[in-house]
Amino acid sequence: MVIGSGPGGYVAAIKAAKMGRRTAVIEKREIGGTCLNRGCIPTKTLMYTSHLYAKAQEFRELGISCKELSYDLNRIQDRKDAVVDKIRQGIRSLLAANGVTIIEGMATILDAHQIQINNAEEELRINTDNILIAAGSKPVKPGIEGIHLPNVITSDELLSQREKLYQRLLIIGGGVIGIELATYYQEMGSAVEVIEAMDRILPNMDKEISQSIAMNLKKKGVIIHTKAKVVKISETPDGELLCDFEEKNAAKSVCSDGILVAVGRRANTEGLFGPDFSLAMDGAHIKVNEKFQTSIDTVYAIGDVIKGRQLAHAASAQGVAAVEIMCNRKPSLSLEVIPSCVYTEPEVAVVGINEEEAKAKGIEVKVGKYPMLGNSKTLLSTGERGFIKVICDAATDRILGAVLLCERATDMIGEFVTAIANGLTAHDLASVIRPHPTYEEAVTEAVEDIYGTAIYLLPKRR
């Protein structure tokens, strides 16, 4: 029995069915979970539109005449809903084709082998050999005065708005969700401000990435406040939202039409455990061992309900591994090498360790870097400033990490994931031919820069 049908749950259910297990998945909302219905897919669908709308501002430069440019928010939302529905139906078809039973309702674990399911029509109790918890996460709303005022919303509500696009949006939180939605709103023509408590946006990423994304956003008019703490939110007599905050110990305030709260997500375990059932917890998360077993060995947990990176592809990989372990198989995926992506303009993709992390581990590294404004595909496509950076072990030349800030970064990062997972060296990556003109040519240049042999970089001064 799999609890939750997000990218961790439905992938695990299909894998289990393919391995001969009689499998069911329980879902209290829509098939596909948060990622499909209220996260990754709707966000990126909207951002695809906003990227095109922003690019259209460059038509004159490209020799294209367009007398009037506008957008229809309802049609944008219609397309987003159609994309989500098509993928949702595809997942349903895959589950059905693999013989996985879909049970709608709220799941409550009663003991090591029994789950109670409640829906509008009935209450079921089902016995099972194994339980896999893949219940995901939900947005956090911190205890700030005024946090429940109208138009103070989370990403769930923002993505479902059909007729409202705030002309002035304040975003509390400069993590991935906040920065992606800041990009969407800015590209659609809104005034955007971001309040981040840490000393930089995207604080968990490579410092150079954080600085570059901040610079790009500021250049486009986004105002970013760092080392800032929200004090309270109130409503003005004119119906505006007023946010009082402290930035570097100075009291400040800003008015907006809407406030997006994007300070993180927490494990979705509410109502999951019956009155006589409990699992060991690691703070707010379910505690698991290296096999994804909880404190009860027949119950497993993956994805956002356990500690780790909240990424759809990580949850899917964990789901596959957990099922393989249940079936006494060795996990077929490398769970140590997980890429992260941010769908800004240009895109961000990182994998492995960066220079700071290598230094903290006492690893001496060599670094190669190539600026994308020297790349032909970037120039002909009116791409923005960016770079590809490669980190390798100074002693062995093995690739340890990569940082990409460029067009199609999220599509190219897989080459580095493969390299790290298979112990490839910088020489291995430099020894293959990449087509011209492509963004991927910059990979060759970045890797060759490790040895000082990049063709399209000026020689370094000695």
- Which residues have a catalytic role annotated? 436
Closest CA to 261 of 233, 285, 281: 233
- The kind and range of the H/E element at 218 are helix 207-219
β-pairing verdict for 101-104 and 24-27:
parallel
78 and 42 Cβ atoms separated by less than 8 Å: no
77 and 210 Cβ atoms separated by less than 8 Å: no
Rg value, the chain, Cα: 24
Closest CA to 50 of 194, 182, 176: 182
- Burial class from Cβ neighbours inside 10 Å (0-12, 13-18, 19+) for residue 205 reads buried
Amino acid identity of residue 259, one-letter, is: I
First-residue to last-residue Cα distance in the chain: 63
d(CA 45, CA 40): 8
Point out which residues pair with 254 in neighbouring strands.
243
Helix segments in 262-408, DSSP class H: 312-326, 355-360, 376-380
The CA distances from residue 228 to 196, 316, 322, in Å, are 6, 35, 40
Closest CA to 266 of 280, 281, 288: 281
Angle at 72 between CA 66 and CA 78, to 5 degrees: 130
Contacts of 135 (CB under 8 A, 6+ apart): 3, 4, 267, 268, 269, 272, 303, 304, 305
350 and 206 Cβ atoms separated by less than 8 Å: yes
Helix segments in 69-201, DSSP class H: 73-97, 155-160, 176-187
Contacts of 77 (CB under 8 A, 6+ apart): 161, 162
Contacts of 456 (CB under 8 A, 6+ apart): 370, 374, 445
Which residue in the block uniquely carries the two structure tokens 């005065």? 145
Point out which residues pair with 365 in neighbouring strands.
393
41 and 84 Cβ atoms separated by less than 8 Å: yes
